[in-house]
Amino acid sequence: MKRMLCGKVGVNSLLASIVLLLLAGDALAHGERAQLASMRMRTVHWFDTQVTPLNVKVGDVVTVTGKFVTSVWWPKHMPSIEETVYLNIGVPGPTFLRLHSEVNGVPMMRSTAFPLGKVYEYTTVLRARIAGRYHVHPLLNVMDAGSLVAKGTWLEVADNESGEPFVNEVTTLPGDTIDLETYGLHGVGGVYFWHVLWIMMGVGYLVYWLATKKELFIPRFIRIREMGDDRANELLTKRDFIASSIFFTLTLALILGGYLWAENKYPITIPLQTGLVDVEPIEIPSGDLEVVVDHATYELAGRSLTMRVNMTNHGDSPIRIGEFLTANIRFVNAEVNEGEFYEGEEMVSMDGLTVSVDYISPGQSVDVELVASDALWEKFRMTGLIHDPDSRFAGLIFYYDDAGTRYYQEVGGSVLPEFF
Ligand SMILES: [Cu+2]
């Protein structure tokens, strides 16, 4: 008997771990793959995303920095980022505290608007709250459009050595120091108190009906149908009426009493703050290269995007094309390879970009073929591009002058799928 029991427990826990594994597998594949390919290509180009450090303990500070360019190819059918947008961090649950965030030097505790075709440099400072391994993504919540996610970086948060609970102390405006981790949770009038009280009210009301009636919802409903609506009151006894009245009065009394009690306990309150702040955008440092896209094709079988562009170098230094970035995937030209790379960075194809010319000399105007190909197209479900009703693409081209200075600019246009 004992043995059988053990066997049963074994199977159960095995099932439980399979379910957990399945769930975990799901969690690995969120964000960067979930959105429409066209949406990821033509909304926000995130780059230089850096999360430091990658191994911390509960209570430590983590900094997320990076830049993004808002695409001038923003889909017309999508609510615009030029209206209301909020810089946020995408992690599973309340695992971090946000201590500070800014865009182009402006504090970002509020929403803002980001005009298209500009550069924004952001910094978000977090404090690790719960131990675990998280895929940390910067993201933008665009009003009515949802969140636009940058690629994630794995971050390990270990328990702190002391094993003491995480505290998050702040000083209120009247000068009290409180721990937000536990503030208002316990005691009479705390969150637990009110939840238990209302659950008891609800359960009590249900128990009254369950205990006093043999039949409940559907039999009574059928009876009313048989008797007719005008005789429905006959189903209600005097006792039912009194009990319901007591519950009704108690509910109103609790609401009013709770309100008066809260007013008395917390006399000074201010409403939740909202509003918009202005951020001065930065111009794209596009250097002296003029890029005109002739056409682009996407080869489904070859998992590659081919762009034919005309490039004119208006400067006095030769220019080399180093990278093409779209939908958070970096296609790097192995020949040039001066791109900035960061610890823990994902979605980089180190030799994913081939460029038909090595240099664009000063004054030269030349037709260039850029091919961005890698299995990452498939892995990140970019093949969905062909289901896009308006078949357009956009991305950033990064290039370098003689001195190694990096410039970039957005390219975009229509893209034709090729099936063979
Ligand atoms: Cu992720």
**305-324 pLDDT per residue, tens:** 999 999 999 999 999 999 99
CA of 153 relative to ligand 1 center, distance in Å: 7
CA of 25 relative to ligand 1 center, distance in Å: 11
**Has residue 87 been placed in a domain?**
yes
**Has residue 388 been placed in a domain?**
yes
**Closest among 114, 121, 368, 403 to 287, alpha carbons compared:** 403
Name the band, by pLDDT with cuts 50, 70 and 90, for residue 160: confident
**Has residue 284 been placed in a domain?**
no
C-alpha dihedral, 383 to 384 to 389 to 390, nearest 10°: -50
CA of 37 relative to ligand 1 center, distance in Å: 16
Structural tokens at position 265: 């306990």
Name the band, by pLDDT with cuts 50, 70 and 90, for residue 39: confident
CA of 152 relative to ligand 1 center, distance in Å: 4
Claim to verify: residue 297 and residue 214 sit in the same structural domain: no
CA of 379 relative to ligand 1 center, distance in Å: 13
Q: Please give all residues whose CB falls under 5 A of ion ligand 1, grouped by chain where several chains appear.
A: 31, 135, 152
Q: Does the pLDDT of residue 369 top 80, yes or no? A: yes
**Has residue 208 been placed in a domain?**
yes
Claim to verify: residue 299 and residue 383 sit in the same structural domain: yes
Percent of the chain with pLDDT over 90: 66
Claim to verify: residue 130 and residue 232 sit in the same structural domain: no
CA of 32 relative to ligand 1 center, distance in Å: 6
The owner of tokens 């615009």 is 80
The whole-number pLDDT of residue 161 equals 83
Claim to verify: residue 241 and residue 302 sit in the same structural domain: no
CA of 349 relative to ligand 1 center, distance in Å: 17
**Has residue 233 been placed in a domain?**
yes
CA of 386 relative to ligand 1 center, distance in Å: 24
Claim to verify: residue 163 and residue 65 sit in the same structural domain: yes
Which range has the worst mean pLDDT, 34-43, 117-126, 142-151? 34-43
Q: Which domain holds residue 395?
A: 289-418
**Has residue 330 been placed in a domain?**
yes
CA of 30 relative to ligand 1 center, distance in Å: 5
**Has residue 273 been placed in a domain?**
no
The whole-number pLDDT of residue 353 equals 95
Claim to verify: residue 233 and residue 256 sit in the same structural domain: yes
The residue-averaged pLDDT of 167-183 equals 92
The whole-number pLDDT of residue 274 equals 83
CA of 332 relative to ligand 1 center, distance in Å: 21
Claim to verify: residue 147 and residue 217 sit in the same structural domain: no
Most confident of 13-22, 106-115, 387-396: 106-115
Q: Specify the long-range contacts of residues 209-218, CB closer than 8 Å, at least 24 apart.
A: 212/239, 212/240, 212/243
The residue-averaged pLDDT of 342-355 equals 93
CA of 343 relative to ligand 1 center, distance in Å: 16
- Cα 131 from Cα 249, distance rounded (Å): 46
Among candidate residues 203, 230, 265, the one where a domain is terminated? 265
Number of domains in the chain: 4
Pairing of strands 289-299, 406-418: parallel
Claim to verify: residue 41 and residue 165 sit in the same structural domain: yes
Among candidate residues 135, 169, 203, the one where a domain is terminated? 169
The whole-number pLDDT of residue 8 equals 44
**Has residue 182 been placed in a domain?**
no
Q: Does the pLDDT of residue 198 top 60, yes or no? A: yes
Taking the model in full, what pTM does it have?
0.82
Name the band, by pLDDT with cuts 50, 70 and 90, for residue 389: confident
Claim to verify: residue 134 and residue 213 sit in the same structural domain: no
Query: What CATH number should be reported for the domain holding residue 341?
Result: 2.60.40.1580
CA of 135 relative to ligand 1 center, distance in Å: 5
Pairing of strands 348-349, 329-332: parallel
Claim to verify: residue 75 and residue 159 sit in the same structural domain: yes
Claim to verify: residue 155 and residue 212 sit in the same structural domain: no
Q: Does the pLDDT of residue 2 top 80, yes or no? A: no
CA of 390 relative to ligand 1 center, distance in Å: 27
CA of 28 relative to ligand 1 center, distance in Å: 6
Q: Side chain identity at 160, as an amino acid letter? A: N
Q: Does the pLDDT of residue 30 top 70, yes or no? A: no
Beta carbons of 332 and 322 less than 8 angstroms apart = yes
Average pLDDT, the chain: 89
Name the band, by pLDDT with cuts 50, 70 and 90, for residue 61: very high
Which is more confidently placed, 379 or 84? 84
Q: Which helix (H) or strand (E) holds 27?
A: helix 2-28
The residue-averaged pLDDT of 186-209 equals 94
Name the band, by pLDDT with cuts 50, 70 and 90, for residue 24: very low
Beta carbons of 418 and 298 less than 8 angstroms apart = yes
The whole-number pLDDT of residue 228 equals 87
Claim to verify: residue 11 and residue 93 sit in the same structural domain: no
The whole-number pLDDT of residue 15 equals 53
The residue-averaged pLDDT of 230-258 equals 93
